[in-house]
Amino acid sequence: MARDGTQAMGETMEALVDANRILAREGVLDGYGHVSARHPGNPQQYLLSRSLAPELVTAEDILTFDLDSNAIGDTRLAYLERFIHGEIYRRRPDVHAVVHSHAPSVVPFAGSSVRMKPMYHMSSFLGSGANVWDIRKHFGCTDMLVTNHEQGRSLAETLGADNVTLMRGHGFVAVGDAIPIAVFRAIYTELNARLQATAIALGGSVTYLESDEAALSDAKNRTTVGRPWQLWRRKISATGH
């Protein structure tokens, strides 16, 4: 790798390790769930921790995978569900980071007939709302995990051009064209779920963001994501990790 490549790789690795610990601290990931990044120098590869709780991930734990989700030159135990990442990177060249989470506020929407829709500008990346991918509809009775190419591909198809897709009885995926964007979207998906559940429970009518508002807002939010990203990084370093 050339000098620029080395620098890009260093920055990506550092951001990816931080993303693991930020998402744990913000309640998006617990002992399970994961976050990956496309390889900055080779779009046919992606970076993802070995099987490890996200809060514990360091640079030494990051493995490199090809888009078939085979680890390259490393035999350490990989996440069973790495195919989520591989198939999304294959289908979506614009995506450079993927979060998979079981956040407690989001799973209820993944099992409900009520559609998740954006309550405010911070979750405008939800556009007209988040679709739900139900593994049973495509693969019958399973252990609920995405553990092969076919399942990953099916999930990626439901994701389509969206930023977030819910997974019935499981959790959700959020994607972005950079690590801070995907982290931002995962965190505010979790928040939007809480907001929407509260708004519905008030019993009145609920006004969501219109699609046109959501599109303008999402574009604007991209210009300020550095602000919370700086805060989140500071918080994980302040807690001594």
Residues 190-219 that bind a second copy (CB under 8 A): 191, 194-210, 212-213, 216-217, 219
Q: How far is the CB of 57 from a second copy (least distance, A)?
A: 11
Is 157 a known active-site residue?
A: no
Task: Tell me, by CB under 8 A, how many residues bind a second copy.
Answer: 72
Q: Kindly tell me which residue out of 76, 80, 157, 160 binds a second copy, with binding defined by CB under 8 A.
A: 80
Between 75 and 205, CB nearer to a second copy: 205
Q: How far is the CB of 1 from a second copy (least distance, A)?
A: 31
Selecting among 11, 60, 81, 157, the annotated active-site residue is: 81
User: Which residues in 19-78 contact a second copy (CB under 8 A)?
Assistant: 30-32, 51-53, 55-56
Binding mask 105-144 for a second copy (x = CB under 8 A): x-xxxxxxxx---xxxxx-x---------x-x----xxxx
Pairing label, strands 97-101, 171-176: antiparallel
Q: Quick one: residue 168, left, alpha or beta (phi over 0 = left, psi -120 to 50 = alpha)?
A: beta
Q: How far is the CB of 149 from a second copy (least distance, A)?
A: 18
User: Which residues in 141-180 contact a second copy (CB under 8 A)?
Assistant: 141-145, 168-171
Q: Are 63 and 75 in contact (CB under 8 A)?
A: no
List all residues 6 or more positions away from 212 whose beta carbon is below 8 Å from its beta carbon: none
d(CA 17, CA 24): 11
Q: How far is the CB of 34 from a second copy (least distance, A)?
A: 11
Q: What is the DSSP letter of 163?
A: S
Q: What is the DSSP letter of 223?
A: T
Q: Which residues pair with 101 in a beta bridge?
A: 172
* Helix 226-238 / helix 3-25 crossing angle, nearest 10 deg: 70
User: Which residues in 222-241 contact a second copy (CB under 8 A)?
Assistant: 224, 227-232, 234-235, 238, 240
d(CA 71, CA 77): 9
List all residues 6 or more positions away from 16 whose beta carbon is below 8 Å from its beta carbon: 35, 36, 37, 47, 62, 179
Between 76 and 136, CB nearer to a second copy: 136
Stretch near a second copy under the rule CB under 8 A, chosen from 12-20, 59-67, 85-93, 99-107: 99-107
Q: How far is the CB of 113 from a second copy (least distance, A)?
A: 4
Q: Which of 159, 3, 190 shows the shortest CA–CA distance to 85?
A: 159
Q: Which residues are catalytic?
A: 81
